[in-house]
Amino acid sequence: MSNKNTEDLQRQASENTLGLNPVVGLRGKDILSSARLVLTQAIKQPFHSAKHVAQFGVQLKNVLLGQNALQPDDGDRRFADPAWSQNPLYRRYLQTYLVWRKELHDWIGSSNLSPQDISRGHFVINLLTEAMAPTNSMANPAAVKRFFETGGKSLLDGLGHLAKDLVNNGGMPSQVNMGAFEVGKNLALTEGAVVFRNDLVELIQYQPSTEQVHERPLLVVPPQINKFYVFDLSPEKSLAKFTLRSGIQTFIVSWRNPTKAQREWGLSTYIQALKETIDVVLAITGSKDLNLLGACSGGITCAALLGHYAALGETKVNALTLLVSVLDTQLDTQIGLFVDEQTLESAKRRSYQAGVLEGKDMAKVFAWMRPNDLIWNYWVNNYLLGNEPPVFDILYWNNDTTRLPATFHGDLIELFKTNPLTRANALEVCGTPIDLKQVKSDIYALAGINDHITPWEACYRSAKLFGGNIEFVLSSSGHIQSILNPPGNPKARFMTGSGELPEQAKTWQDDSTKQADSWWLHWQAWMAERSGKLRKSPATLGSKTYPAGEASPGTYVHER
């Protein structure tokens, strides 16, 4: 594979890889049933359909006569090969496809269906037309060139990859060469040790890398449906290394991968485990409080914990950083099109029957939400061009999913249905009602402008739920790349506000200030002000009560 193709796949992966937001357990069947319903209703309008068939015929005639000027979107990288614009046959093939796609969308858009059904129809037509794109066929000019360059070997290699995926990957194109990575060997390499373990978590303390450290430690809480090492992926992308270089005593939670034996673990169970963990961090460091960082569903857990602490009058958390985390679950996303009371109850029931929600099943459904970025480009790369799947650490981590216990999945579905964190005392955890306005800790909330899992406007509304000082920051990236944002990237940008958060997210965006480089540097300064005085770095990890055990990355991360 050429360096350019590799870079394109890696860039797309960075922007579109899914840090799963497991609020729903949608199945492909749910989407197909909606598709059937919408298309049946549309077909019941024969005159409307006939009009669009006639219009398609006229446009097709113009294509064949070379009188059609339709072009793919500027950002559509699939048709970048010069053959699509310069070769008359390829140009007509492409324009026939574009005319067909446009007419299908016009047909559903001008039907007499409800607005929601029209949106569902557009989504289903997208699935169909993206699957039928000319670039996904053996006529793809890049595949034809590759076939002749390799004397047909690319086709044989592609068939081999297809056979392997049919057996090992449920028929989905592999996004990554899983054999190229091993946690603890070339991922999650920052020096540290497990200093505490209970049924749900291993607590990893990292070895300070500076002579002095801030007295107030940082505890990082990852999402429960992914492994923790997204925060320690590779030395150049490691947030753990960055915080250590900043003189911050760094601890990270590694969640256990539950089985159906742990089906009863719920939100309160995770919060109770986190409370134990916080007490251990404070005991080891001698600090009276700490700073907390939560990402995605880990952010939901942290927010509920702070609400619980506020109800108890506890002040163990000084400041909270939320990364791409939605607490106000009124989401305007494609997933919302297919979510209703029946779908949610069905998802909850399936989890309870199985005992767990499988992360890999969620990954498949989410991939179909972004098929060009998460399926068809790998189809072309692996099968049509005969290339090996990419070797890319973010994709390896994203494919290394975990399970969610049924009770916790049910709790997340209830959060999605009733949106209780937006109202005082509507949610109860560990025996106390939650009111986020009573949380007076400083909040640093990060969102990604291209994030399609936790849309930035929803992250903005979520940040406004707290009662303390809020620093809202908007990265120029997607879901995962917003987190993995080390300094030094000349393309990196982020936006900051001027203090008070206006009611509307758009108003904040219009008044915001654009900044160059990574938000990590901005956050570093914010954290330094909230991490206390400097003192001599501890000589050893852990303490007498909590001695250092297994070396990082611990044992829970290896559980399958």
Catalytic machinery residues: 296
* Structure token digits, residue 360: 């890999």
Q: What distance in Å separates the CA atoms of residue 474 and residue 493, rounded to the nearest whole number? A: 9
Which residues 6+ apart lie within 8 Å of 504 measured at CB? none
Which residues 6+ apart lie within 8 Å of 263 measured at CB? 352, 355, 356, 405, 406, 407
Q: What one-letter code names the amino acid at 447?
A: A
Q: What distance in Å separates the CA atoms of residue 89 and residue 239, rounded to the nearest whole number? A: 50
Torsion angle in degrees (nearest 10) through CA of 79, 83, 88, 89: -80
Residue ranges of E strands in 207-263: 212-214, 218-221, 250-255
Bridge partners (DSSP) of residue 434 are 427
Handedness of CA 130, 451, 239, 316 (dihedral sign): negative
Cα–Cα distances in Å, from 202 out to 69, 409, 548?
60, 21, 12
* Structure token digits, residue 283: 């005991």
* Structure token digits, residue 186: 């070339």
Q: What distance in Å separates the CA atoms of residue 71 and residue 103, rounded to the nearest whole number? A: 14
Rounded CA Rg of the chain? 25
Q: Angle CA(548)–CA(189)–CA(551) in degrees, nearest 5?
A: 20
Q: What distance in Å separates the CA atoms of residue 393 and residue 379, rounded to the nearest whole number? A: 19
The residue written with tokens 């005392």 in the block is: 425
Which residues 6+ apart lie within 8 Å of 241 measured at CB? 190, 209, 232, 235
Taking alpha carbons only, the member of 329, 331, 267 closest to residue 302 is: 267
Cα–Cα distances in Å, from 125 out to 34, 110, 240?
12, 14, 43
Q: Do the beta carbons of residue 324 and residue 298 sit within 8 Å?
A: no
* Structure token digits, residue 13: 């992966």
Q: Angle CA(27)–CA(31)–CA(35) in degrees, nearest 5?
A: 160
Q: What distance in Å separates the CA atoms of residue 158 and residue 145, rounded to the nearest whole number? A: 14
